[in-house]
Amino acid sequence: MAREIYGRRRILVTGGAGFLGSHLIDRLIARGDEVVCVDNLFTGDKRNVEHLHGHKQFEFIRHDVSFPLYVEVDEIYNLACPASPIHYQHDPVQTTKTSVLGAINMLGLAKRLRCKIFQASTSEVYGDPAVHPQREDYWGNVNPIGFRSCYDEGKRCAETLFFDYRRQHGLPVKVARIFNTYGPRMHPADGRVVSNFIIQALKNEPITMYGDGSQTRSFCYYEDLVDGFLRLMDTEDDFTGPVNIGNPNEFTIRELAEHVIELTGSKSTIMSRPLPQDDPMQRQPNIDLAREKLGWEPRVQLKEGLTKTIEYFDGLLREKL
């Protein structure tokens, strides 16, 4: 194994130039691992890993995971996939290819290397949930032919592949179902609610809220989430997940808008727009399994995380002045 040759673990992170991938890489490097970051830079940004260029533990490969990849590593984290509706609906066929062919290619690599592999799945596998909060044994309520289906069904199929590789080839797999996460390095133009609201507030522009803002979301700060990833990867091989990783504190979208206005000291007003198709009304994780198996629960409160995220976007906007 690569571990024996290099004396330290060598870890592949796909989607490593993205928001979550780049933070995960920072944690892996800090604990002494070598990281191979694979990204096609569709939504990722080289600046997210710029500080690691020239670092002896870091290597960047520009590659599309829907094509096979041959590298020698000890563990794989598969995060490559556009995550926001604007991005994944831009080229829906490619989104499905990234999820499904990306999973097949990374699982094939893991099978050849006999290594552990992590999948960044999503709460979107629950669709517009008929049960609330969502537990991992809920099978979901997903529209297979809508605008969000390329992402939702792509991720569902990827989960199927992970569990079939487990059953058929005995591969150690770890599947995390990620709920809304936010923080520095989110793409400023991804149309996600946290980044949208913050940028609009910083520019003193009206905050565009879909519907009447009574739909709820739970928001997890990236530091908590990455901690959950690492704990999941360190569990015994017989624990596969899927496991929900997210913050169960639920807020309405209107409350989020109000917090952002308060923390930025903005003059923005709130403006209502029609709800997009298939937009779920409620989304909240049940994290009992993560508590029990990973000893994990989120620690960062919404206002604390928002304050750090606002600082980041404020810096970005100032750079552009």
Catalytic residues: 151
Q: Does 181 bind ligand NAD (CB under 6 A)?
A: yes
Q: Which of 292, 181, 179, 294 is nearest to 231 (CA)?
A: 294
Exactly one of 80, 104, 125, 257 binds ligand NAD (CB under 6 A); which one? 80
Contact 183, 250 (CB under 8 A): no
Q: Which is nearer to ligand NAD, 2 or 120 (CB)?
A: 120
Helix (H, G, I), strand (E, B) or coil at 167: helix
Residues 137-156 contacting ligand NAD, CB under 6 A: none
What number of other Cβ atoms are within 10 A of residue 302's Cβ?
21
Q: Provide, rounded to whole angstroms, the least separation between the CB of residue 266 and ligand NAD.
A: 23
Do β-strands 250-252 and 216-218 pair in parallel, antiparallel, or remain unpaired? antiparallel
Q: Which of 156, 163, 157, 181 is nearest to 117 (CA)?
A: 163
Q: Provide, rounded to whole angstroms, the least separation between the CB of residue 298 and ligand NAD.
A: 13
Q: Which is nearer to ligand NAD, 165 or 182 (CB)?
A: 182
Exactly one of 96, 180, 216, 286 binds ligand NAD (CB under 6 A); which one? 180
Q: Does 129 bind ligand NAD (CB under 6 A)?
A: no
272 to each of 206, 253, 257, 275, 289, how far by Cα in Å?
Answer: 10, 11, 11, 9, 37
Exactly one of 73, 75, 85, 98 binds ligand NAD (CB under 6 A); which one? 98
Q: Which is nearer to ligand NAD, 122 or 200 (CB)?
A: 122
Residues 231-250 contacting ligand NAD, CB under 6 A: none
Exactly one of 96, 105, 122, 218 binds ligand NAD (CB under 6 A); which one? 122
CA distance 9 to 298: 27
Q: Which is nearer to ligand NAD, 19 or 296 (CB)?
A: 19
Q: Provide, rounded to whole angstroms, the least separation between the CB of residue 120 and ligand NAD.
A: 4
> Could you write out the three-class secondary structure of 189-228?
CCCCHHHHHHHHHHCCCCEEEECCCCCEEECEEHHHHHHH
**Which residues of the shown chain bind ligand NAD in the complex (CB under 6 A)?**
14-15, 17-21, 39-44, 64-66, 79-83, 98, 102, 120, 122, 178, 180-181, 187
